[in-house]
Amino acid sequence: MEDKSTRTDFIRGDAGVDAGRTDPGGMEVMVFSVGLIKKVIVAIKTLVIIVMAKYLYLLMAVIGLIDFINKILSMTNILSGFIGKAVNVTFVTLLIAGSMVWSTGGAKAQVAGSIINPGFEDQATGTDKKVAAGWLPYEQGYKRVKAAHTGAWGITLQSDRSNPGTAGAYQRIDLQQGEIKPVQITGYIKGDRIVNQAGGWFGASLYAEIYLQDGSVVYWNSVPNFGTFGWRWIGFNTGTLAAVNQPIDHIFLVPILGDARGQAWFDDIAVKEHEPGVGVVTIMFDDGELSTYEEALPAMEKQGWQGSTAVITEMVDEDGFMGWEQLQALQRKGWEVVSHGITHEDLTTLSVNKVKQELNNSKRQLERKGLVVNHFALPFGAYNAEIMALGTKSYKSVRAYEQGSNPVGILPWEVKVHGVTTATDSATIADWVNEAKNKGQWIVIVYHKIAEMGDDAYFTTPSDLEEMLQTISDSGIEVVTYNQGWEKFGAL
């Protein structure tokens, strides 16, 4: 996936990561922090100001200026922290305060880390039914509609087909973390004829601006969705992002249709913060090569460990690959078998029907031989949103080949790995393991052929493998199969 961690700030228009930025305060009218209200008299005065601002906002709506103010808000995100930060409130801040009270529908104080109106069931006070409490419009905005994943209401985003742009809704979520914790950001989406524009990377997705404690910002969005499709689960975990290297202060969360034509619906948006886990490691051998049985198995047994192997079903019993009896023997020894497809073709190059065959028929073939299969490893690590949506209907997770570690709350389509090549040594393995222990994460170390020689960089000599396994053993970290790791860390 493209690294978007230093791209242009989409909401605020800033360039890259700005560590010196002053916190704009954001949607603090929805977070009545006791620490901000030093005296009761200040709180009373502020409440009076907000009430006055609400009716001033009503008057301005009558004279046709409401759209102008909303555009200023969504384009600049000037959400000044007006409660408890200053007794002197400017006229512009009053207008912003009125807008915020209007949009939240007079909601109660927001609990840190929670979302106001995550399912869009509540209508904003004083508006028509098309405005959801707690959610502000971005650019072409959104409409609250009776089309939902659960409940009765959701929102829809639609880009002008003659002039494609960006539509969205946004809300600030305050976390104020005292330590780094992974945050799972998810929602449900449905799409109709969504087509990407040249240079676009959003599609229909969940976009977030993640503000860290020092004021720097990390930008990310979930895998973009295109085409026509029914409700599907989307999202990402901030713990997979290397740039999130300190506690999170707050997040601007945006269900978005960006630089694309078509229509999208969103519902059941969720933000869930997790405590770090206890680090574990999975040792995996891709492709089902014979060396997994002849070289890797004895080395793993020497340590008392079980591994996992990703199997290409049409290669079973072929020269240089394991047979059914060997795979069954591995399972009896506590190993896990993962599907790696029928043909090991790049799924992004295949038709939808062919993708379904690769996903579903490979699982059936393995299961008919008595093998228990819970997970899929993507050939070449290649995927898109549709492949992930199809795969997670049949498997607990669909593993790509993106490099990294897995925090608690990892989602089924974003499991990361550490791929071993001829350039990998025991010191590198030690670094990976220490990171997992220190951050409380799950790492998946992936090998391919175990042999003295190979025709590419994806082989490891038997002696190097034994040395690497000893490094893992010396660290004291727990070694688990892939499914055991998933059960500890996956989508909790």
pLDDT tens, 77-120? 323 332 222 222 222 222 223 333 333 333 333 455 689 999 99
- Sign of the Cα torsion 330, 331, 333, 336 reads positive
Greater confidence (29 vs 271) lies with 271
pTM: 0.79
- Give the residue carrying structure tokens 């109660």: 108
pLDDT of residue 415: 98
Question: What tens digit of pLDDT does each residue of 436-456 get?
Answer: 999 999 999 999 999 999 889
pLDDT of residue 472: 99
What's the distance, Cα to Cα, between the start and end of the chain in Å? 24
**Among the listed residues 392, 382, 399, 386, the one whose alpha carbon sits nearest the alpha carbon of residue 353:** 386
Question: How many CA atoms are closer than 13 Å to the CA of 401, on its beta-carbon side?
Answer: 18
Helix axes 91-104, 66-76, angle to 10 degrees: 90
Model confidence at 35, pLDDT cuts 50, 70, 90, reads very low
On whether the CB atoms of residues 469 and 479 are closer than 8 A, the answer is no
On average, the pLDDT of the chain sits at: 83
pLDDT at 251 over 90: yes
pLDDT of residue 106: 34
State the amino acid at position 78 in one-letter form: I
CA dihedral of 235, 402, 417, 344, whole degrees rounded to 10: 110
Model confidence at 165, pLDDT cuts 50, 70, 90, reads confident
**Among the listed residues 282, 300, 483, the one whose alpha carbon sits nearest the alpha carbon of residue 376:** 483
How far are the Cα atoms of 12, 56, 147 from residue 95, in angstroms, in the given order? 19, 8, 32
On whether the CB atoms of residues 5 and 219 are closer than 8 A, the answer is yes
Domain ranges of the chain: 28-273, 280-489
> In 234-251, which positions are buried (b, 16+ CB within 10 angstroms) versus exposed (e)?
bbbbbbbbebbeeebbbb
CA distance 252 to 133: 16
Greater confidence (454 vs 173) lies with 173
- Give the residue carrying structure tokens 């790995």: 417
pLDDT of residue 108: 35
pLDDT of residue 219: 98
Model confidence at 128, pLDDT cuts 50, 70, 90, reads confident
Greater confidence (128 vs 352) lies with 352
pLDDT of residue 23: 28
Helix axes 40-62, 91-104, angle to 10 degrees: 80
The three-class DSSP label of residue 74 is helix
Task: Give domain 28-273's CATH number out of 1.20.950.20, 1.10.10.10, 2.60.120.260, 2.60.40.4070.
Answer: 2.60.120.260
The three-class DSSP label of residue 385 is helix
Model confidence at 328, pLDDT cuts 50, 70, 90, reads very high
Structure tokens belonging to residue 91 = 């006229």
Greater confidence (161 vs 378) lies with 378
CA distance 324 to 327: 5
Query: Do the first three CATH levels of 28-273 and 280-489 match, i.e. the same topology?
Result: no
- Parallel, antiparallel, or unpaired for β 183-196 and 260-273? antiparallel
pLDDT of residue 382: 98
Percentage with pLDDT > 70 across the chain: 76
H/E element holding 283?
A: strand 280-287
How far are the Cα atoms of 32, 182, 438 from residue 178, in angstroms, in the given order? 19, 12, 17
CA distance 492 to 489: 7
**Superfamily for domain range 280-489:** Glycoside hydrolase/deacetylase (3.20.20.370)
Nearest 5 degrees, angle CA 184-CA 185-CA 191? 140
pLDDT at 38 over 50: no
pLDDT of residue 58: 44
